Structure 1
């Protein structure tokens, strides 16, 4: 199966060039913090950094506030502001969660996981059927992906290599722990091959990727939200199962790994507009398990049906 896998970047002396020292120092510090500090302390530190970040990210605050007002038109202004603050705290926590995912040993990582319900995924694994894992841009997505691998169900991630070779060297190893693998994000044929081989492929269809290969269907409170048709382009030719997945953090600091329902039987694969609307309903359900842990800082509703963009965020 190595023929459809992104190659593991090799270490070379060139990666020790002074221009990469900042990357090595930053990740080294992160690895030290998450391994030496108690988990609760490091998580609290990350959330505090996220709160501080609000002061320096006014544009992102505006984007998050606008997204929430559009998505939840009946939400009170006070509740919107509270959600924005919590979302920024979780954004800071995401840095710590990435460090935990990339640098914790498996025995320690396993202790923060709760196998909530992954029965649908285990059933498909027994039948050797490929599964499109429809995840959302949760701020703890890194933990979710490794969580499935630690529970014995690794998959392929849709991946864009980093332009900085030192960063890429570290990132690749962090994202391929416990058997996870990577597929280049623009290589649709390879994604289909992965699924036809009976593998699992993580795919994130919940953001606004622009007008190309997209349709406008309801998503939360927006009736015409730009939504990718990529799910249909992958699922139909591969004849795979489709399972929404998540791994949100609980109030106790554990992560509930879920893959409890298959939706491919009713999924209208030949009608891309209907399929996108159908899947959005399930993505909304996933996000509402922990809405403050979703990436509201992204311009989810920037593209408009008339071909323009960004006017909602002015």
Structure 2
């Protein structure tokens, strides 16, 4: 089967997975806890995460300094602290996506710019939503799946129970989750059937077929494949931002205007357009981007790694 099988199987009860079951149970308890209580607890817990997550924080610090060299050390550390806090706030709430009602999800995630989606759907087009790795991405995917048919593609986790749990969440509303091994052809087939999906253009997939393009104050290797996918599936390409508001305890999801096909003509232009979209989405909520990812691993020839 090319897409994730969301059915339960007895192997998930193996004793080596009992620790994961315990963690999922804790997440379920947090999922039923009101956000007004859960969020302050998460912020307190984030102080512990700051002390123990040394390696990820080192990567985050390198990424932020590469992208924003104008920031002072004080500003960099403040951004990291808030980034970790937002990570914990969103992580411990995520089980609610599996069992809370559709009405609850609508209340939790406010949508702006949906007229852009409606315009494409009225024209019979699928949509490739451009969203880099942000903490609230699963909230964005499920909230949009309430309004239109969606599929997605994910990398399998080593822990099969966590793999089952996370993909049960993503496919809860009927959207299929394809493993990466399925390839891009399945996405073209899905688009031709009217299904939309998220594409995450910020991942560093190595130098092969990638193009270097500016990203903030640095340069990033970007895979220019979205233009061809959109053309093959007759789809529109729209960036999406999502950020959590601590005061209202809601996410704000904004669908931005479509990227013009002419702006993605040619690999260099497409890489530039994709990185500009990534910049726009990150700038909306810089404290909620996954800065711990090594998305700047591939460097231009002769340039040293920023992670040394």
* Aligned position for 2:91: 95
**Does structure 1 residue 236 correspond to structure 2 residue 225?**
no
How far, CA to CA, are the matches of 1:208 and 1:14 in structure 2? 33
- Contact 1:136-1:283 at 8 Å conserved across structures: yes
How well do the aligned residues superpose, as a CA RMSD in angstroms?
2.0
Q: After superposition, what is the alpha-carbon deviation per residue over 1:46-98, rounded to whole angstroms, capped at 9, x for unaligned? A: 33323311111222222111111111121222211110111111121231242
Are 2:10 and 1:10 aligned? no
The alignment's TM-score, normalised by the length of structure 1, stands at 0.90
Look up the match of 1:111. 107
After superposition, the C-alpha distances for 1:235-282 in whole angstroms (9 at most, x for unaligned) are 23323210111221124221112213111333323x111111012112
Is the CA contact (8 Å cut-off) linking 1:245 and 1:286 kept in structure 2? Answer: yes
Alpha carbons of 1:236 and 1:27: their partners in 2 closer, same or farther (altered >3 Å)? same
CA contact 1:118–1:257 (8 Å) conserved in 2: no
Where 2:262 maps in the other structure, the secondary structure is coil
Q: Write the distance in 1 (CA, Å) between the matches of 2:307 and 2:211.
A: 20
**Distance of aligned partners of 1:85 and 1:116 in 2 relative to their CA distance in 1, 3 Å threshold:** same
Given that 2:4 and 2:179 are in contact with CA atoms closer than 8 Å, whether structure 1 keeps it comes out as no
Q: 2:169 aligns with which of 159, 167, 174?
A: 174
Aligned twin of 1:312: 306
Tell me how far apart the structure 1 counterparts of residues 45 and 141 of structure 2 sit (CA, whole Å). Answer: 24
Which segments of structure 1 move beyond 4 Å, counting only runs of 4 or more? none
- Taking the aligned partners of 1:296 and 1:166, their CA distance within structure 2 comes to 26
Secondary structure of residue in 1 paired with 2:178: strand
2:148 alignment partner, one of 148, 153, 177:
153
Are residue 249 (structure 1) and residue 234 (structure 2) matched?
no
Q: C-alpha distance in 2, partners of 1:82/1:281?
A: 25
* Aligned twin of 1:72: 68
Map 1:210-225 onto structure 2 (within 5 A). 210-222=206-218, 224-225=219-220
Tell me by how many angstroms 1:163 deviates.
Answer: 3.6
Cα separation, partners in 2 of 1:293 and 1:7, compared to 1, 3 Å: closer
Tell me the matched-pair count.
306
Instruction: Give a deviation string over 1:89-146, Cα, whole Å, max 9, x none.
Output: 1121231242232332222222112122211111111222121111111111111111
Check 1:212–1:97 CA distance in 2 against 1; reply closer, same or farther (3 A cut).
farther
Q: Mind listing any 5+ residue stretches in structure 2 that lack a counterpart? A: none
CA change 1:230–1:249 in 2 (3 A) is same
Alignment gaps of 5+ in structure 1:
none
TM-score (structure 2 length as normaliser): 0.92
Deviation of residue 221 (structure 1)? 0.6
After superposition, give the CA deviation of every residue in 1:126-175 in whole Å (9 maximum; x if it has no partner).
2221211111111111111111123x124111112334333333222111
1:26 aligns with one of 23, 26, 37 = 23
Match of residue 36 from structure 2: 40
